[in-house]
Chains A and B, each alone.
Chain A
Amino acid sequence: MSDLVLKAIAVSKAFAGVKALRSVSFELRAGEVHALIGENGAGKSTLIKVITGAVKPDAGTIEVRGTLVPHMDPRISKSLGISAIYQQPSLFPDLTVAENIALALESGGQWRRLNWKNRSLRASELLERAGASIDPERLVATLSMPEQQLVEIAKAIGADARIVIMDEPTASLAEREADSLFQVIARLRSEGAGVIYISHRLEEIATVADRVTVLRDGESIATKRMDEVDRAEMIRMMVGRELDSLFPKRGIVPGEIALELRDVSCRATGVKNVSLNVRRGEILGLAGLVGSGRTELAETIFGLTPADSGEIRLLGEHVAIGSPGDAIRRGIGYVPEDRPLHGVILEMSIAANTSLANLKRIAHHGLIDGAEERALADGFVRQLHIKTPSVEMEAATLSGGNQQKVALARWLAIDPAVLILDEPTQGVDVGSKAEIHSLMADLSERGVAIIMISSELPELLGMSDRIAVMHEGGIRGTLDRKDATQQSILSLALGHAA
Chain B
Amino acid sequence: MNRFRSEISVAYAITALLILLAFLAPGFFTRENLSDLVLANMPVLIVALGMTLVILTGHIDISVGTMFAICSVAAGEFAKLGLPAAGAGLAACAIGAMLGAINGALVAYVRIPSIVVTLAAMVAFRDALRWITQGAWVQDLPGNFQWLGMTRTASDTITFSIAGALAIAIGWGLRNLPAGRSVYATGSNENAARLAGIDSALVTFSVFTITGALTGCAALLNSIRFNQIPSNAGIGMEMKAITAVVVGGTAITGGRGSIQGTVLGVILLGIVSPALTFLGFSAYWERAIQGLIILCAVGFGAVRSRLGSRLRGDFAERTV
Contacts and interface: CB of A to CB of B under 8 A. Distances in A.
Interface of A: 15-16, 18, 20, 41, 43, 45-46, 49, 302, 304, 323-325, 327-329, 334, 336, 341-348, 352, 355-357, 359-360, 363, 366-368, 370, 390, 392-393, 396-397, 399-401, 410, 427, 429
B195 A345 contact: no
B319 A16 contact: yes
B314 A346 contact: no
Please classify the interface of chain A as helix (H, G, I), strand (E, B), loop, or mixed, using the class held by over half of its residues.
Answer: mixed
B199 interface: yes
A380 to B, nearest CB: 15
12 contacts: A15-B319, A16-B315, A323-B199, A328-B197, A342-B192, A342-B195, A345-B192, A345-B255, A355-B181, A356-B181, A356-B198, A359-B178
B319 A325 contact: no
Interface string B301-318: 000000000001011111
B195 A324 contact: yes
A427 B320 CA distance: 6
B132 interface: no
Nearest to A352: B181
A400 B315 CA distance: 12
Interface in B177-219: 177-178, 181, 184-185, 188-189, 191-199
Contacts of B320: 15, 20, 41, 43, 45-46, 49, 400, 427, 429
Most buried by B among A49, A392, A397: A397
A37 B188 CA distance: 37
B197 A324 contact: yes
Given A324-B197, A346-B188, A347-B256, 11 more contacts: A41-B320, A324-B195, A341-B192, A342-B189, A342-B195, A345-B185, A348-B188, A359-B178, A366-B178, A427-B320, A429-B319
A96 B315 CA distance: 38
Contacts of B316: 396-397
B167 to A, nearest CB: 19
Contacts of A367: 176-177
A323 B199 CA distance: 9
Contacts of B188: 345-348
B1 interface: yes
Nearest to A338: B191
Max count, chain A CB within 10 A of own CB: residue among B192, B314, B316, B319: B319
Q: Which 5 A-B residue pairs are closest in the complex by CB-CB distance?
A: A359-B178, A15-B319, A328-B197, A357-B196, A325-B197
Contacts of A370: 176
Nearest to A411: B196
B312 A397 contact: yes
Contacts of B185: 345, 348, 352, 356
A390 B178 CA distance: 22
B319 A399 contact: yes
A396 B318 CA distance: 9
B240 to A, nearest CB: 26
B191 A341 contact: yes
B28 to A, nearest CB: 39
Contacts, number: 103
Nearest to B314: A16
B172 to A, nearest CB: 10
Contact of B319 (A20, A334, A359): A20
A16 B314 CA distance: 7
Contacts of A348: 184-185, 188, 255
Contacts of B198: 325, 356
Nearest to B172: A367
B219 to A, nearest CB: 30
Contacts of B192: 341-345
Nearest to B187: A347
B196 A324 contact: yes
Nearest to A329: B197
B205 to A, nearest CB: 15
Contacts of B184: 347-348, 352
A333 to B, nearest CB: 10
Nearest to A389: B1
A347 B319 contact: no
A356 B194 contact: no
Interface in B278-320: 312, 314-320
Given A345-B185, A352-B181, A15 B196 contact: no
Given A324-B196, A327-B197, A342-B195, A368 B318 contact: no
B191 to A, nearest CB: 5
A342 B191 CA distance: 5
Contacts of A343: 192, 195
A486 B219 CA distance: 69
A304 B315 contact: no
B319 A356 contact: no
A363 B178 contact: yes
Given A324-B196, A366-B177, A401 B1 contact: no
Contacts of A392: 1
Contacts of B175: 368
Nearest to A48: B320
Contact of B199 (A15, A325, A341): A325
Contacts of A393: 1
A149 to B, nearest CB: 21
A334 B195 contact: yes
Contacts of B177: 366-368
A345 B193 contact: yes
A43 B319 CA distance: 10
Nearest to B316: A397
